[in-house]
Structure 1
Amino acid sequence: MSLLQSNNVLYELHEHVPVRTVAEVEEKLPFLLDKMLKTVAFRVKDGRFILAGLRGHDRIDYRQLAAYCGVNRRAVASMSPEAVEAELGFEVGGVGPFSLQPEVLVLLDEQLAEMGTVYCGSGRNTATLAINFADLLRVCGGEMVSLARDD
């Protein structure tokens, strides 16, 4: 939250019961899935980390993700919950599309630009961040790319 505050970004933090999956968010929280920005953490075999953000109901096109990183599909793997917490500092269910570590690449699906206010991970699985997407993009250092599968 200090990143947002230091950049004078308006946001709301919604405290809630712990959630770990999109299904739990849909079941337990009052936020519409259509407004959710889910973030999935990946490790590339060359050591890079990727935080990939897309709409809550969308699925990642792994081939596009790998191509964007300049590697074969097999060189990109989703991180285990333990690795996400240990190496990126996010609780599972609280992963957000921002990082204070310069070696973490943040990629955001281009369809998010149409959303206005989004609800995303805050770093904790007991709090969800509500923020204008344009403000989030400005402070997170993310790149807009095509990540969602077409199916």
Structure 2
Amino acid sequence: MSSRPLEKVRAYVQRYQPELEPIIFEEPLPTSEIAAQALGVEVGQIAKSILFRAGEKYAMFVAAGDVRIHSKRVKAALGSGKTKMASPEEVVEVTGYQVGAVCPFALEVDVPIFVDRSLQRFSHVYTAAGVPESLLPVTYEVLLQMTGAEEIDAASAE
């Protein structure tokens, strides 16, 4: 495990919540379901961060692990053009994190970030913290503050 992305996340978080520390696990947590099981929380508490693309324009959507992001909402946010999820290579290039470890802040490229209100129902949610073995516990309010995101209703229950 390369510690550079994790250290980048730690340094970024210090500016907002100095006492906040990523939780590190022995094994990677590649899905919301696996992460929720490892923590003993609901799948919805795992904040999934997904990078979408339309043409040359990208945007990050952060939603509860138990919801699906509507393509209409993605299209509305990105504008014209066919929208699709970014490729794993694009994810690394734009975010600086590999798929399965995408943190919704401290990105390599400045892109719009949208946080879905589906996360509001939890006192704490857990984002990836830069490496597949990590999770960062945050409140919805702190997540909004750290990401500088726009709140939207982008999801539906799966």
Normalised-by-shorter TM-score class: 0.7 to 0.9
Partner of 2:68: 59
The question of 1:123 aligning with 2:130 is answered yes
> Percentage identity across aligned positions?
24
Equivalent residue, structure 1, for 2:4: none
Q: Deviations over 1:49-75 (max 9, x none)?
A: 211011111001011211132225xx2
Judge conservation of contact 2:128–2:134 (CA < 8 Å) in 1. Answer: yes
Letter in 1 for 2:86: M
State the shift of 1:115 in Å. 1.8
- Equivalent residues of 2:96, 2:107 under 8 A apart: no
Q: CA deviation at 1:76?
A: 1.4
Runs of at least 5 residues in structure 1 that lack an aligned partner in the other structure = none
How many residue pairs end up in the alignment?
147
Quote the residue 2:16 is aligned against: 7
Residues 116 and 134, structure 1, Cα contact 8 Å, conserved in 2 = no
- Residue-by-residue CA offset, 1:109-132 (whole Å, 9 max, x unaligned): 122223221111111111111112
Aligned mates of 1:49, 1:99 — CA distance in 2: 15
Label 1:140 to 1:31 Cα distance change in 2 as closer, same or farther (>3 A). farther
Change in CA separation of 1:149 and 1:122 when aligned onto 2, cut-off 3 Å: same
Of the structure 1 ranges 53-62 and 34-43, higher mean CA displacement relative to structure 2 is found in 34-43
Counterpart AA for 2:120: A
- TM-score normalised by L of structure 2: 0.81
Partner of 1:114: 121
What RMSD in Å do the two structures reach over aligned CA positions?
2.0
Offset, 1:100: 3.7
Correspondence for 2:46: 36
Q: Which amino acid aligns with 1:111?
A: S
Mapped partners of 1:77, 1:139: distance in 2: 25
Verify the 8 A CA contact 2:116 2:151 in the aligned structure 1: yes
Bigger drift between 98-107 and 57-66 goes to: 98-107
More displaced 10-residue stretch of structure 1: 138-147 or 99-108: 99-108
